[in-house]
Amino acid sequence: MSEHDQDQSIQGRTLECGDEQKLRMAVEAAFDYRGDVTLELNDGTQVVGYLYDRHFEHPPARVRVIPNPGRQGQSASRVTIEARRIMRIIFSGRDTAEGKTWENWMKRYAEKKLAGERADIEPDPGH
């Protein structure tokens, strides 16, 4: 992903996984995403959760997900899914890293300092 691509949130988008190249690109984007994704599988089921690992180097290619326990019928146990079963990836969860660039942090820090507010190196819990 280029620096420009990282500035634009993928939250809310759907990536089709119709061929090997699209699948790899979508899985990499989901791996880099800091929120839940919805994996739509070729049998019609959906898995919603945080995609935290992926393996393409040894067949079968697979991803590992921590399911969102708030979804009906899903446990909080980690699951492994063969990548070839993924039809599309929906970036359905809130991107918790959106807007949290170094530049944005420095801007907020400087604004607080100029306003005479307390500004320290600890992150703001709301940002």
Residue 73 backbone class (left: φ over 0; alpha: ψ -120 to 50; beta: rest): left
Q: Residue 72: pLDDT band by 50, 70, 90 thresholds?
A: low
Domains observed in the chain: 3-95 (2.30.30), 97-127 (no CATH)
Q: Is the dihedral of CA 64, 68, 69, 73 positive or negative?
A: negative
Q: Global pTM?
A: 0.68
| DSSP string over 113-124 | HHTT----SSPP
The per-residue pLDDT of the chain, averaged, comes to 82
Percent of the chain with pLDDT over 90: 51
- Mind listing the pLDDT tens digit for each residue in 92-126? 988 776 666 667 667 777 888 788 887 666 655 55
**13-24: pLDDT as tens digits:** 999 999 999 999
